[in-house]
Amino acid sequence: MKSSFPAIMLTLTGALTTSAAMAVEDWRNPQVFRINKEPARAFFYSFNDKAAINTEQPWAADNYQLLNGEWKFNWVDTPTKKPQGFYATDYDDSSWGTIAVPANWELNGYGDPYYHSHACFNNDLSFLEGDELNYSMSFMEGKVNYNPVGSYRQTFTIDKSWTGKEVFLHFGAVKSAFYLWINGEKVGYSQDSKTDAAFDITPYIKPGTNTLAMEVYRFSDGSYLECQDMWRMSGIERDVYLYATPKVAVRDFHAYTSLDASYTDGVLRLDADIDNRGSTNASDITLSAQLTDAKGKTVYRKTLSLAALGAGDIQQLGFAAQIDEPNLWSAEQPYLYSLLLTLTSEGNEPQYIRRHIGFRSTEYKDGNILVNGKPVLFKGVNRHEHDPHTGHVVSRESMLADIKLMKEFNINAVRMSHYPNDPYFYDLADKYGLYIMDEANTESHGLGAANQGPYDAAKHIVNKPEWQAAYIDRISNMYERSKNNPSVVMRSLGNESGDGPNIEVTYDWLKAKEPSPVISEQAQLRRHTDTYSQMYAPIQDIVRYAETEHDERPVLLIEYEHAMGNSLGNFQDYWDAFEKYRALQGGFIWDWVDQTFARTNANGDFYWAYGGDMEPLGTPNSDSFCANGLVFGDRTPYPYLWEVKKVQQNIGFALTKDNAREIVVTNKHFFRDLSAYALSWQIIEDGKVVKSKAGISLNAKAGAQQTIKLPKLRFKQGKEYFVNVQVALKNDEPLLAKGHVVAEEQLALAFTPAAPVQTTSADIAISDSNNAITLTGDDFSMVINRHTGLVSSLNYNGSELLKAESHPSFWRAPVYNDLEVKSYESAFSVYQQLGKNTELTSLNVNQLSAQQVEIKLEHALPAIESKYFTTFTVNGNGVIDVDIWFYAAPHKKFGELPRIGTLFELATDYSNVTYYGRGPHENYNDRKSSAFVGLYNTTVDALYVPYVTPSENGHRTDVRYVDFTDNTGNGVRFSAQKTLEFNAEYYNTDDYDATKADHFDRNLHPADLKKQDRIFVHIDYKHRGVGGTNSWGEAPLSKYILPWLDYHYGYRIEPAPGK
């Protein structure tokens, strides 16, 4: 679609100034979204003192004044109740309360926060129509005319040194719409709650004390464009401050860098808007630009001048300068230059602006997004702004902590979901190296989204001409603010906003500004997007796209791997595809942090609150759909963040095919060599280090390989060998300390099964009664219930281990990805009580020798019309070999099994756990790349993972043996000739369901579970993967499920070897 930008901007300008003629309120009029608000511009601080330019926070400078703090506040639930004339300087606000600024009202006792994943407040336009405010969404049911209004008052004093200067009032973010008064005079109006709103208040201020008043609306027509998957809250969410500039000042500038065709030499193009807000003409105006490198050396200097600038005029000064062989900026090597702008004019103070810039190019070319000519892989996350205590108010310390964690865990990209974030985060990304996908504050999910089912396109605002100026305004606000940040390598037109003319025109608007890639996930493969960015595309779909004739645009998954609860399965499979096919350029995991709140229950127990916990009881909500982060609300990593780190590491390792004594190291970086790292290796024999070497230098260039030799090794029969490899930093780097491990791998060397060994055993006695079979050996006894065929007692060294009969186990406490699989309840619930409802159909005892007894059992599984056979081969020394056959009824077809194994209920004395298998963190068959085989010592408590909604957790795979012991070392070992899997916790799978039933009227949290007087140990043969493609229907990949088949497996039970 060909767009006429002058016409569009004329419409936009008209919308800014004609609200007085409109009969409907501004906050219900989509054509009114800014009144007397400063035009969008680049974010920067300017100073009148050159010494101040190096500060990150300008509040100490004498031309800035931070207004954060306690403000007077009044809240009403409907606009008809708002206080009249409250903006007057002599208004009596003594009866008002106070509120912190910035803060969300709803977290401070004014109204309630609501969580709904995609419903804003209306799924039609009734809010804009008629005299009443009507709502169609279920969580707003019955709230006619409900639209809380927060009225704020604050005073400030203008320093005498600001006399004769231009004074601006700046709001970082206010949700959703607000009016502003200074000293009783109306200044302006603003929407777009996630970008800056600045007002020139010079005409309204006076010497001494000034009164600031604001009227903030929780909902407005702008809310239709802010329907993101987040908590519905309101208020002033970012900093509020005053600043003063000379009458003649740089109001905006664009420092745009580009590279030549060889990506060697650069061009710096500067365009600066010089504005004279004085009442007289200005003369002798000089703008000087100085570019210095990271060491402070001047690289380029330029002086521009204007002889005169009329009162009220704006003129642009600029230049384009070639910079030979600049150091390039990338997320791997975020090299920054410093650009200092100095503006002087006759009769005015100088103005100093310092901005870090980077030389880099981003372009869509040859079927890829290229950064500095390279088709980089985006190892990204989506990040909402969320704090578990303050909601949408996020501190600078929290932002830095997020970036530090991201760098530690090999994340190189962030999508600003779903709105422009605080400008400080972009500056941190520039400094420390992250690729940013900036995103406009436009989502209309409640009205319908493309590719997510049918919706009435004629009623969707994306197709309505009267909304077009609002769309462009938000795109402009996003673009102008971050246009000087080198970290912003691409821009998104919004999220789940529908697709139509108003999205198309924003694409054209951005492309007219600069050539950086523009993303519209709603566009699919229509012309107004530079990537194919389908959300949550299954692996097989993107592989098919890459392997067949396809559109020239690359796949970039702006959301994938929905990390809700125990999730992020098949992550390695995604990255195997990304690294194999050039047409696939990675993606952004959903998402970074749980949007939960730190709370305590009536018993004083801590829990993470999610949808339904914060709202009035019974309010429709989206439950724990806000808890899908890689980290908890307090930024504690989930176990699967380690999987992200391992899978996305920038160094690969392999053994040469013909020589197990050589490690091939592959540098997967696009720009950085490996000279800053050192490699170490360890030879592991049955979990113990037998040889090691550290401090090996690396030198492979980006994309290259080098080989590391291992010593000659003699492998012992019956022993298992691995080589563990680590690469770590030689020296401190920004945010990362010397010794930080950036990549690691475990490579299998050898395993030769041991020759069979005839073990000596004590004699074993059999006592057979009507009720039980008792086997007694040397410091050992075992009892099998004759009626159930289940082991009811196991005693080693005079201590009873079991608290109840062991029995087959087929069920797990569902993870969220289980619950959303189509027909889960009907297909899987048959397994829930299956292991407890076996029917013994045959029991045979056979004394093989004086030292050995064989017991054969046959159980029917009536619920699935199948059979379960168990053979115990019991030795007098307490060694028990268990052989199990599960026969799936051939005439039936039930769903996949959640697990297949045996449940043992152990006494709590045996809470020390030692195992030889994958660890140290939780792992599953579809999420274990980061969990290396090793010998680990832990406890039952430490195995537990307190997912926000309790579920299956703490699993371990590829286990050779596991010991459960008391503090003296006595206990039991479970082992397998090949491998087994296990869980151990103080809760039974039934506890999760029973506790949910007890708390049917509210959410379930780990704090609601009560520890039992036993340890529930699952010894599994196989366990279903957790999945992760999405959380609303996609099962784990077929290779990670347990289909309806026969299964044969075995394991051994024996006394733990002791300390």
* Per-residue pLDDT tens digits for 287-331: 999 999 999 999 999 999 999 999 999 999 999 999 999 999 999
Q: Cβ neighbours of residue 84 under 8 Å, at least 6 residues apart?
A: none
- Residue 619 within a domain: no
What are 912's strand-pairing partners? 939, 965
How many Å apart are CA 870 and CA 859, to the nearest integer?
8
Asked if residue 307 and residue 234 are part of one domain, the reply reads no
- Residue 132 within a domain: no
- Quick check: is 552 catalytic? no
Q: Does the predicted TM-score (pTM) go above 0.85?
A: yes
Q: What is the torsion angle, in degrees rounded to the nearest 10, for the CA atoms of residue 400, residue 405, residue 409 and residue 411?
A: -40
CB distance 921 to 951 below 8 Å: no
Which among 155, 149, 146, 148 is positioned nearest to 93, based on CA atoms?
155
How many Å apart are CA 722 and CA 746, to the nearest integer?
7
In this predicted structure, what is the pLDDT of residue 522?
A: 86
* Per-residue pLDDT tens digits for 744-782: 999 999 877 766 666 678 999 999 999 999 999 999 999
In this predicted structure, what is the pLDDT of residue 827?
A: 74
Residue type, 334: P
How many Å apart are CA 1050 and CA 872, to the nearest integer?
10
> Which helix (DSSP H) or strand (DSSP E) does residue 772 occupy?
strand 772-777
Asked if residue 820 and residue 802 are part of one domain, the reply reads yes
- Residue 608 within a domain: no
In this predicted structure, what is the pLDDT of residue 272?
A: 98
In this predicted structure, what is the pLDDT of residue 620?
A: 83
Q: Give 222 or 145, the one with higher predicted confidence.
A: 222
How many Å apart are CA 842 and CA 860, to the nearest integer?
9
* Cα 165 versus chain centre, distance: 44
- The encoded tokens of residue 332 equal 């791997």
In this predicted structure, what is the pLDDT of residue 1033?
A: 85
Least confident of 54-63, 272-281, 877-886, 990-999: 990-999
HSE value, Cβ hemisphere, 13 Å, CA-based, for 160: 0
In this predicted structure, what is the pLDDT of residue 998?
A: 59
Alpha helices, H only, 514-624: 539-547, 571-580
Residue 22 has pLDDT above 50, yes or no: no
Report the CATH number that the domain containing residue 1022 is assigned in CATH: 2.70.98.10
Asked if residue 827 and residue 719 are part of one domain, the reply reads no
How many Å apart are CA 638 and CA 203, to the nearest integer?
53
Give 957-960's long-range contacts (Cβ < 8 A, gap of 24+): 957/917, 957/918, 957/923, 957/924, 957/925, 957/928, 957/931, 957/981, 957/1023, 958/917, 958/918, 958/928, 958/933, 959/915, 959/916, 959/917, 959/918, 960/720, 960/916, 960/917, 960/933
Q: Give 658 or 953, the one with higher predicted confidence.
A: 953
| pLDDT (mean) for 1019-1032 | 95
Residue type, 281: N
**How many separate helices (H) and strands (E) can be counted in the chain?**
12, 59
Selecting among 443, 559, 720, 820, the annotated active-site residue is: 559
CB distance 919 to 934 below 8 Å: yes
Q: Cβ neighbours of residue 849 under 8 Å, at least 6 residues apart?
A: none
- CA distance readout (Å), 214 to 151, 154, 236, 474: 6, 9, 10, 22
* Cα 647 versus chain centre, distance: 16
Q: How confident is the model at residue 881 (pLDDT cuts 50, 70, 90)?
A: very high
In this predicted structure, what is the pLDDT of residue 11?
A: 39
At 100, is the secondary structure helix, strand, or coil?
A: strand
| pLDDT (mean) for 164-182 | 98
In this predicted structure, what is the pLDDT of residue 14?
A: 40
In this predicted structure, what is the pLDDT of residue 130?
A: 73
- CA distance readout (Å), 6 to 11, 17, 38, 515, 781: 9, 17, 19, 20, 90
CB distance 408 to 740 below 8 Å: yes
Asked if residue 334 and residue 262 are part of one domain, the reply reads yes
In this predicted structure, what is the pLDDT of residue 534?
A: 86
Decide which of 302, 333, 357 is a domain's last residue: 357
How many Å apart are CA 494 and CA 452, to the nearest integer?
16
* Per-residue pLDDT tens digits for 707-755: 999 998 899 999 999 999 999 999 999 999 999 999 999 999 987 776 6
- The encoded tokens of residue 1025 equal 């993967």
Residue 6 has pLDDT above 50, yes or no: no
In this predicted structure, what is the pLDDT of residue 1047?
A: 98
* Per-residue pLDDT tens digits for 949-977: 999 999 999 999 999 999 999 999 999 98
Residue 1032 has pLDDT above 60, yes or no: yes
Asked if residue 253 and residue 240 are part of one domain, the reply reads no
φ/ψ of 480, rounded to 5, equals -60, -35
- Residue 624 within a domain: no
HSE value, Cβ hemisphere, 13 Å, CA-based, for 1047: 21
Q: What is the torsion angle, in degrees rounded to the nearest 10, for the CA atoms of residue 751, residue 756, residue 761 and residue 766?
A: 100
The range of the structural domain enclosing residue 98 comes to 5-111+148-245
CB distance 489 to 516 below 8 Å: yes
In this predicted structure, what is the pLDDT of residue 121?
A: 67
Asked if residue 678 and residue 807 are part of one domain, the reply reads no
The widest CA-to-CA distance across the chain, in whole angstroms, is: 113
Residue type, 942: A
Decide which of 321, 340, 357 is a domain's last residue: 357
Asked if residue 635 and residue 683 are part of one domain, the reply reads no
Residue type, 943: L
Residue 220 has pLDDT above 70, yes or no: yes
CB distance 36 to 169 below 8 Å: no
| pLDDT (mean) for 474-496 | 97
CB distance 322 to 314 below 8 Å: no
How many Å apart are CA 616 and CA 77, to the nearest integer?
15
How many Å apart are CA 421 and CA 383, to the nearest integer?
9
- Quick check: is 363 catalytic? no
- Residue 116 within a domain: no
Residue type, 657: K
- Residue 386 within a domain: yes
Asked if residue 417 and residue 268 are part of one domain, the reply reads no
Asked if residue 51 and residue 78 are part of one domain, the reply reads yes
φ/ψ of 778, rounded to 5, equals -80, 110
Selecting among 443, 496, 643, 720, the annotated active-site residue is: 496
Asked if residue 469 and residue 545 are part of one domain, the reply reads yes
Output the 3-class SS for 113-140.
Answer: CEEECCCCCCCCCHHHCCCCCCCCCHHH
- The encoded tokens of residue 103 equal 């803060």
Report the CATH number that the domain containing residue 101 is assigned in CATH: 2.60.120.260
Report the CATH number that the domain containing residue 312 is assigned in CATH: 2.60.40.10
In this predicted structure, what is the pLDDT of residue 610?
A: 96
- Residue 866 within a domain: yes
The DSSP letter of residue 1043 is -
Q: Cβ neighbours of residue 969 under 8 Å, at least 6 residues apart?
A: 1056, 1057, 1058, 1059
* Per-residue pLDDT tens digits for 530-579: 999 989 999 999 999 999 988 899 999 999 999 999 999 999 999 999 99
In this predicted structure, what is the pLDDT of residue 64?
A: 97
CB distance 702 to 672 below 8 Å: yes
* Beta pairing class for 166-171 and 240-245: antiparallel
* Per-residue pLDDT tens digits for 333-388: 999 999 999 999 998 999 999 999 999 999 999 999 999 999 999 999 999 999 99
Please provide the DSSP assignment of 596-619 as one string.
-EEEE-TTS-EEEE-TTTSSPTT-
| pLDDT (mean) for 117-130 | 76
- Residue 587 within a domain: yes
By CB neighbour count within 10 A (0-12 exposed, 13-18 middle, 19+ buried), where does 263 fall? middle
Asked if residue 836 and residue 854 are part of one domain, the reply reads yes
Decide which of 612, 645, 678 is a domain's last residue: 645
Tell whether the torsion through CA atoms of 391, 393, 395 and 401 is positive or negative: positive
Q: How confident is the model at residue 453 (pLDDT cuts 50, 70, 90)?
A: confident
Least confident of 21-30, 86-95, 937-946: 21-30
Residue 638 has pLDDT above 50, yes or no: yes
Which among 897, 929, 887, 873 is positioned nearest to 1018, based on CA atoms?
897
How many Å apart are CA 372 and CA 261, to the nearest integer?
10
CB distance 507 to 528 below 8 Å: yes
Domain count, the chain: 5
* Cα 286 versus chain centre, distance: 47
Q: How confident is the model at residue 10 (pLDDT cuts 50, 70, 90)?
A: very low
In this predicted structure, what is the pLDDT of residue 134?
A: 67
Mean of the per-residue pLDDT values of the chain: 93
Asked if residue 706 and residue 569 are part of one domain, the reply reads no
Report the CATH number that the domain containing residue 440 is assigned in CATH: 3.20.20.80
